[in-house]
Structures are given as structure tokens and as C-alpha cells.
Chain A
Amino acid sequence: MENLLTILISLLAIIALVQLVRIFELATKLKGQQEIEISDKENHYNGLALLIVGFGFVLFVAYSFKLWGHLILPESASLHGIQIKLLWDTTMYLILFVFFITQPLLFWFSYKYRGKKNNKALYQTHNNKLEIIWTSIPAVVLTALVVFGLKTWNNVMVPDTSNAMVMEVYAMQFNWTARYSGEDNKLGDANYTLIGGINTLGVDINDSASSDDIITREIHLPVDEQVLMKFRSQDVIHSAYMPHLGVQMNCVPGMSTQFAFTPIKTTSEMRKELKNEEFDYVLLCNKICGSAHYNMQIKVIIETKQEYLEWMSQQDNFNTLISR
């Protein structure tokens, strides 16, 4: 009954609208207006509206950094983040520069050259000089940006990792597990066919490098030390994303991926910086992986070397775990 009423009311509303538009159209016809042509008045008001709304938008973009700027992630808590920031800022200023020139021009021209009955547009087909200018300027600017970008990318992705602490982050629906390589700084072999019982990561018991591996449900990292994080996945593609550390890498079944970085702010330093005693770093899943994708996370704690070693000493290694 209720649905029927809704349908009836909607139908009546549509009929009413049709009649209204009809009346409106008849009225303009009676006034003798040529409905198809755009009147000077319509051109004026639409041009003016473009000017106001357009400039309003451009001004809002400028203001939005003040309004919402505090939402943006704080300065990166890892070493490579500082390199990236320079590239980020350069690109951002370039973008805003172009934005604040082209958008106002678009809306200004729309208003300034709004149609009037007796005006005639300029007949102007092309200008090769102009085309060359505005092809070559972006080309030069982009060349610089590409060179800068590639340099940064290579520095970040291909660092010297000979002294890095090696560890693994293992993904499955819908949780993360960390595995530290222990004293030998070498992760034991692992294979999905060996998964079973307490051996949730499929670590190979027969590999001598595996005995001192340490498996944990929290990630602890010593500050100012380079870590080479390796990623594996058990089932579908996941993506390990640590927004505050500027780290992201997909975890792909059947494949090993990695990302090397150096954290430079401990959790407590970050808490102070953000004036938030509850703050914790987090590693979250950033590739759609199923129903609980939105809650696939693991806590990351960055601490001094001493705190780190203390925590590490309380963890069981793989040998102890298996023999228990």
C-alpha cells in the first residue's frame, strides 16, 4: 500500500512538472522570444555565474589547504620520505601554479567574451609560434621533472642494503605476521606447502637459517636503522602500506617483493609531534583482498635500539616455537 502510494505520488509529481514546463514554454513563446537562440540576458547571467562559481572554486582550493591541511599526513617518519618530499613540493608548486593560471583564465574568458547580439568573434585559425611555445615550455619543464623524479625513484627503490636488518611481513586474509631473521640476519626458507599447525608461515625446519627466526604479531623497528622488509602472501594480492613511513609494496602469492627504508622518528617522538598520546604507527592492507579488507592491520612500533633489543629478547625463536 505504502509503495503504491509512493508510486502514485511520484507519477502525479511528474505530471505536474510536465504541465509546469509546458506552461513555461508557452509563456516564452507568447512573449515572442526565439526559444532556440540564447538571449544576451542568458549569456550574461551564465557568464557571470561561471565567473563567480569558477573563481569561488579557485579561491576555495587555495583556502582548502588551510581548512583541511591538518588532515594531511605529517612529515614522513622515514629517511627516503625526506627525499621524496622535495620532489613532492616541487611538483605540487608546479601543479598549483598551472592551476591558478589556467582555471581563472578559463572562467575569465568565459565571462569576458560572453555572447552579445552585435558582437562578432575574431576569425583566428592558428598561430604556429604560439603552438611551438606552449609545446616546448611543458616539454622542458617535464624533462626536468622526469629527471628529478627518476633520480628520486632510483635512490628510494635501489638503495644499498648490505647492512640492512632483514625481516619479512607475511600477508593472508585478513591479518599480517612479522618474521625477523634473528642473529644470522638471514630468513629461513619458507614454502606454502609446509604450512600447518603452529607453522603458520610454512617455514622450512630443515633450513639452518630458520632456527633463529622470530615470528611476531607486532612489528617493532629500531629507529635510525635500515630495514629490508620482504613480503609474501598466502592467498590473494595484498598491499603493505605504512602511510606515516611512506612505504608501500604489494604482497603477491608466488612472488617475493621487498622495500628498504630507515625509520627516523620513534613512536613516542611522533606522539609528541602530533600531540596525541594514543598514536601508533600502523601497517594496513591497501589492495582489495576480500570482505575484511578494511580491517587488515598490524601495529608498528618504532623505538630506540635498546627498547627494541629488550622486546626482541622476550620473543621465542622458531626452534623453541616448534619444539614446544
Chain B
Amino acid sequence: MSNQDHHHEETFISKYIFSLDHKMIAKQFLLTGMFMGIIGVIMSAFFRLQLAWPDEGFPILETFLGKWAPDGVMDPNIYLALVTIHGTIMVFFVLTAGLSGTFSNLLIPLQIGARDMASGFMNMLSYWFFFLSSLVMIISLFVSSGPAAAGWTIYPPLSALPQAMPGSGLGMTLWLVSMSLFIVSALLGGLNYIVTIVNLRTKGMSMTRMPLTMWAFFVTAILGTLSFPVLLSACLLLIFDRSFGTAFYLSDIMIQGEILTQTGGSPILFQHLFWFLGHPEVYIILLPALGITSEVVSTNSRKPIFGYKAMVGSILAIAFLSFIVWGHHMFMTGMNPFLGSVFTFTTLLIAIPSAVKVFNYLTTLWRANIQFTPAMLFSIGLVSTFISGGLTGLILGDAALDINVHDTYFVVAHFHIVMGLSAIFGMFAGVYHWFPKMYGRMMNKSLGYAHFWITFISAYGVFYPMHFLGLAGVPRRYYSNTAFPMFEGLVEINELISVFAILGVVAQLIFFFNFFYSIFRGRQSSQNPWRSNTLEWTTPVERIHGNWPGELPTVHRWAYDYSKPGMDEDFVIQTTPLKDGEEEGH
């Protein structure tokens, strides 16, 4: 893209709707992700009402769910639909598109010193496919047989047979269409991110001078482009099974008194294909959050990130391992025990790079000069949840121990803490930190503090007690526990969880208020409000197409020269040439 481009007249449509500018596309991803997030989070509040107070009528449920909640009592089918769509929305629409889509788009060109993405047009398509996908997913909520309800993992035959449950009717078809569109969006975005990082780094920005955010987004994009196509094929084969009578996943089935003609397929095949994406997906969600945290922690510790090369190495190691561990989701499918052994081995290996990352974060904080911005608080929250949730992975990844906690609330606790909370904390950190870059204004700090503290406490309040539900043997995706005398003692703990859940949901209103208030009325930001080293803070506050008004910046040092002795300030922007005799860090 040439220098003159930003003199173009921009119409309303080309500026705000079909924009080719990565900064605008980032905001589009963020706003759409936030909108989907509201739906996903409200759903969780609804099913928490049901779990804590089963059989009790809540008028609000009837208002929102209509015929699915007569007299405010939730129907079992809509319960399953809610957990399914909650999972789908949070995993894909919020924490993949909303997180990666927003910050990869915003930061990649800005932090490597490029005028825009390699292909602005592909980037625009990526957003609009995501928009369409969201639209289809939302439409699926309103079909008369209800939305998809087979769990976010949509295992066939349950998801393949409309006879098996109402949610496997039109709702499931729309789910599959929506996800296929979503994957197209993820691939268009991912390819663009990779090409941009490889080709468009400015002069002096070698790979080893890139901020860790760039490494995280780069590796995430590679993970996505390698694994999402596999999910697309899984979805397409499922569409064939559902609509064209093929038998990829179906065999020997009699349902509702009807003997199906399909034979020879394997339901387990779907699980292999699904988790071949599904496990890397966990890291597609987590790595960007860790990348954001590395940047935020270093900046606000006023201290270089400790062990830059070890951090890059562990990102690469985690990414590599994430491709060979998918079987740990399937220990109980009756797989050959030898295969279980292999997956146990590879899974537990992930603990090593993860531990390295944690120790490096801790050492970064050691003898730092920590500035507690809301972003920094969320980043520290992330490190805490990453430890808490990561550790229980040692149990679930060990096939022998998995036998008795597989598919129980222990799993729900584990993945919500290690992946859900960590990623959403990373996303909040990113929003607070780069809000000035997006809107040229600051978010309100005090509201940010209130938001963090209520969210942090209620998050642990929701998910920590769930470990005990799991250890008591409570299966996930149960509409109610009342059918089993052995779960009678768990009523109070379920109520406690729901109270924290509702508190946590309400606390997000603070965030949304702060976000929209600050867009219009927030304090004007200065050019480099966090006194940060990276290139995005050398662009003018006012958004311009092409990012830098004149020449592209030239990079002379790595991104983490904070509190370097012999410097006037406690930060040195990457464009500052090395002084005579000065050694480059890392």
C-alpha cells in the first residue's frame, strides 16, 4: 500500500461498514464479539438459575424463552440448547473471533510497522463472513424446533438424527452452516495474519525483535489455518450424513423404533476430526491471551519480560504439542489402551512449557515497579487462573485418573478456569490496554478497578466449587440433579455458584457502560499513555489510513527495554537507535 492512500476520500460505507482498514475491522470484530458475548453470558445466567433452583418458576425465563419455559420453568431441551449455544458462542464467537480477530487485526500491522494487512480485501471478507456466521447462529435461536442442543462438541449420532432430539433438526443445520461460514472467516483472517507478519515487517523488525504479542498471534494463526479445515470437513461430512443419507458417522442404529439403513460409519471418527481442531482451538484461544498478557505485564512492571527466548520457545512448544494431544478428550470412547498411553504422555508434556511461562511471568514481577492499570490487574488474574486451571490438567490428562472425573463438573471447572477465564481476562486486559489506540480516549480507571475486582472474585466463586461437584461424581450437561439421591447434598453449593455467576454477569454491565461511555466521553488519550516501547504508540492518536503519516518507522531494538540503566526514561521506544557502546537486550 502506498503512502498516498490515506488521502483517499472515505465515504461512510467504506469507512465504517465495508472498511479495508485493519483498525476499523478490529473494532468491528470487537463489537460483534461483545454482542455475541452478551448472548452467551446471559444464557449461562439462565441455566445457572435452573441448576440452583430447579422446578422453580422465573418469569424472566418465560419472557426470553417463551414456549420453552412455560410458567418460567425451563424445559430440558432448551437447557441443553442453552449450554450448547453458550459453549459455541464463547469458544468460537467471543474467544476466537472476538479475541484473536480483534487484536490480531489491530496490532499486527501496528506492532510490526506495516501500513495495513497484506490483503485488506481478504481482511474485510474475513469480518463479513464472521458477521454472516453470527447472523445465522442468532437466527438458529429462533427456529421452532429450537437451536442446536447436542453440546458444543455436537457428537453424532445425537447431532445427526433429528429423531434423537428437537435440537438436531433445523437448529443443527443452521449451526453447521454458521460454523462453516465461521471457519471460512477464520481461514481468511489467519492466512492474512501469517502473510503480513512474514512479509510486511518494517526495516529492523527481525523476528526476534517482535513483541511477544506478535509471536502469539503468528503461532495462533498457523494453528488455526492447519486445524480449522479439519473441522470444516467434519462439518461437511455431518451435513452429508444428516441430509444426503451417507454414513460417515452412522452405523447399526435403531431410533424411535426405526431401523436406519446407514451402516459402516463410525461416530468416533467425528470425535477424532472434531478434536483435531478442538484441542488446538484451546490454544487458538489461549495463546493470544498469553501474548497480550506478556505485553501488558512487561509494560506495567516497567521491566523487560523475563526470558524472551524461553517465552517464544514455549509458545512454539505448546503449539506443536497441541496437535498431538487431541485423544485425551476421548479416553473413555473405548479406544485401544495403548493409544490412551500415547495421548497421556504427550498431554502431560504440555505442562513443561506452561510451567516455564508461569515462572517467567513470576520472575518478571520480581523487583518490578508495578503500575496497576486495570489491564495489569486482569493480566495478573490471568496468570492466577492459568496456574489454577492448568494444574488440574495433570489429573484430566492422565488417562487412569480421567476415568472417574471424565465428563463431570471437574472438567467444567478445569476448562473454564484455564481457558475460559484466562482468555477472557486476557481479552479484557487487551481492551483496557489498547482502548486508547482504538478510540483515542481512555477508559475510566475506577470503573475498571470495580469491574476487575468483582469479576475476579465471582469468577473463582463460580468455578472453584465446581471441582467438588465433579469429585462428587456430578455429570456435566445434566438438566437437574434431583433424579439422584446421591446428589442431594449439593444443593447449597449449586446455589452458591449461581449467586456468584449472577454477580459476575451483572458486573459486566460496569464494563459495557465504561466501554461505551469512554468511546464518546472518555478523557483524550496522549500518544503513548502507558509509556510503552512498541511501535503502535508511535502512530498519531487520530486514526489515519496507513497508520504513519510519513515514512514507516525503523526499528533498532527489541520491544522490552524498560528501566534500562543509562536511559533518561524508564522506557525506550523500539525506534530509538542504540547509543554508542549500548548492548541490545535479550
Contact = CB atoms under 8 A, between A and B. Distances in A.
B324 interface: no
B442 interface: yes
A312 interface: no
Counting chain B CB atoms within 10 Å of each CB, the highest count among A24, A88, A102, A119 belongs to A102
Counting chain A CB atoms within 10 Å of each CB, the highest count among B161, B252, B265, B480 belongs to B252
A92 to B, nearest CB: 8
A236 interface: yes
A53 B457 contact: yes
Contact of A71 (B345, B398, B489, B562): B489
A296 to B, nearest CB: 9
Interface in B481-524: 481, 483-486, 489-490, 493, 513, 517, 521, 523
A25 interface: yes
A294 B369 contact: no
Interface string A243-272: 110111110111111100000000000000
Interface in B503-558: 513, 517, 521, 523, 525-526, 529
Interface in B290-309: 301-304, 306-309
A257 B255 CA distance: 20
Contacts of A198: none
Contact of B310 (A64, A113, A131): A131
A181 interface: no
Contacts of A289: 158, 164
B447 A293 contact: no
A195 interface: yes
Nearest to B355: A138
Interface in B406-454: 406-408, 442, 444-447, 449, 453
A47 B372 CA distance: 8
B155 A237 contact: yes
A236 B303 contact: no
B266 interface: yes
A289 B155 CA distance: 9
Contact of A192 (B254, B265, B358, B403): B254
Given A110-B365, A153-B337, A87 B164 contact: no
B282 interface: no
A101 B391 CA distance: 12
B302 A121 contact: yes
A254 B255 CA distance: 13
Given A95-B394, A120-B369, A286-B408, A237 B472 contact: no
Interface in A189-208: 191-193, 195, 202
Contact of B358 (A102, A113, A290): A102
B113 interface: no
B446 A24 contact: yes
A126 B309 contact: yes
Interface in B338-383: 340-341, 344-345, 348-349, 351-352, 355-356, 358-363, 365-373, 377, 380, 383
A254 B260 CA distance: 12
Nearest to A92: B395
Interface string A29-57: 00000011010001100110110011001
B483 A253 contact: no
Contacts of B521: 18, 21-22
Given A123-B303, A142-B349, A250 B332 contact: yes
Interface in A130-171: 130-131, 134-135, 138-139, 142, 145-146, 149-150, 152-154, 156-158
A95 B391 contact: yes
Interface stretch (A213-221, A277-285, A301-309, A313-321): A277-285
B70 interface: no
B366 A237 contact: no
Contact of A294 (B308, B483, B493): B483
Interface in B452-481: 453, 456-457, 460, 464-465, 468-469, 471-473, 475, 477-481
A124 interface: yes
A289 B167 CA distance: 11
B388 interface: yes
Interface in A91-138: 91-92, 94-95, 98-99, 102-103, 105-107, 109-110, 113-116, 119-127, 130-131, 134-135, 138
B340 A120 contact: no
Contact of A254 (B251, B302, B309, B478): B251
B365 A35 contact: no
Nearest to A42: B372
Interface in B250-272: 250-255, 259, 263, 265-268
A123 B333 CA distance: 51
Contacts of A258: 334
A110 B372 CA distance: 9
A254 B266 contact: yes
B275 interface: no
B384 A236 contact: no
Contacts of B480: 294
19 contacts: A17-B517, A21-B444, A36-B523, A43-B372, A54-B384, A64-B465, A109-B365, A113-B366, A121-B563, A122-B563, A123-B304, A124-B303, A126-B586, A149-B348, A150-B344, A254-B250, A256-B334, A284-B484, A288-B477
Interface of A: 14, 17-18, 21-22, 24-25, 35-36, 38, 42-43, 46-47, 49-50, 53-54, 57, 60-61, 64, 68, 70-73, 76, 81, 84, 87-88, 91-92, 94-95, 98-99, 102-103, 105-107, 109-110, 113-116, 119-127, 130-131, 134-135, 138-139, 142, 145-146, 149-150, 152-154, 156-158, 173, 191-193, 195, 202, 231, 234-237, 239, 241, 243-244, 246-250, 252-258, 278-280, 282, 284-295, 297
Interface of B: 76-77, 80, 150-151, 155, 157-158, 161, 164-166, 250-255, 259, 263, 265-268, 301-304, 306-310, 332-334, 337, 340-341, 344-345, 348-349, 351-352, 355-356, 358-363, 365-373, 377, 380, 383-384, 387-388, 391-392, 394-395, 398-401, 403-404, 406-408, 442, 444-447, 449, 453, 456-457, 460, 464-465, 468-469, 471-473, 475, 477-481, 483-486, 489-490, 493, 513, 517, 521, 523, 525-526, 529, 560, 562-565, 570, 585-586
- A-B complex: 10 closest residue pairs judged by Cβ atoms: A243-B473, A257-B334, A254-B251, A46-B372, A157-B337, A254-B252, A121-B303, A109-B365, A295-B483, A294-B478
